[in-house]
Amino acid sequence: MDVDAKDQEEILPPSKRYRRDDNVDPTNPDPSIVVHVRNLSPKATEADLLEALSHFGPISYATCMPGKRMALVEFEDVEGARSCVVYAQTNQIYVAGQAALFNYSTSKAIQRLGLESETPNHVLILTIYNAQYPVNVDVIHQICEPHGFVRRIAMIRRTMLQALVEFESVEVAKKAKHAMNGADIYSGCCTLKVEFAKVSQTDNLT
């Protein structure tokens, strides 16, 4: 079912959407699970980052700052972040067709805004990028059901097409997140960004 999201208007991200340690030297930051990306294409999206970087390790979160041509990418562990940064020191990594620059961030984690949460939950929020074909409840159920029993789905129509998906447990939701994050529903389009939803959003699953 569709959700009226008037009271859930997207919060414009501030210039710093992360938790920073002011005691860290920004010119030589220690290894961190969060990677700072620079020289991004203005058209790059979170989905492009997932596509370009997921092979270095599981990614927990990504957020773009288009006006600054920068982004932050949070890996699940420091090994994924280290693999990315070390590789970028001697190789070019292309994001949305443009070579980007990578280094550790001085942040410890990226702050989640809007409907998203960093806390594992049995409800996922799916954001669909480049939706060239219709995506409805039936489509969402079809792509989620192979990963575990789906209890409820609610479509959210706002500036971005999103869906709330409730699984039977947190473990099943984790499995589904790992499997679907960065994947395309259809070849070359309808790319998924999958995050845990805020607990309060379960009220929208009726």
User: What pLDDT does 6 receive?
Assistant: 39
User: What pLDDT does 114 receive?
Assistant: 83
User: What pLDDT does 27 receive?
Assistant: 58
Residue 15 has pLDDT above 60, yes or no: no
Fold of 116-197: Alpha-Beta Plaits (3.30.70)
User: What pLDDT does 205 receive?
Assistant: 63
Which of 81, 116, 130, 132 is CA-nearest to residue 196? 116
Domain limits, the chain: 34-104, 116-197
Confidence of residue 203 (pLDDT cuts 50, 70, 90): low
Q: Mean pLDDT over all residues of the chain?
A: 85
User: What pLDDT does 204 receive?
Assistant: 62
* Residue 27 in tokens: 């010119």
User: What pLDDT does 66 receive?
Assistant: 78
Answering whether pTM is above 0.85, one says no
Report the length, in residues, of the chain.
Answer: 206
- CATH for 34-104, options being 3.30.70.330, 3.60.10.10, 3.40.50.150, 3.50.50.60: 3.30.70.330
- Give the C-alpha separation, 27 to 18, whole Å: 17
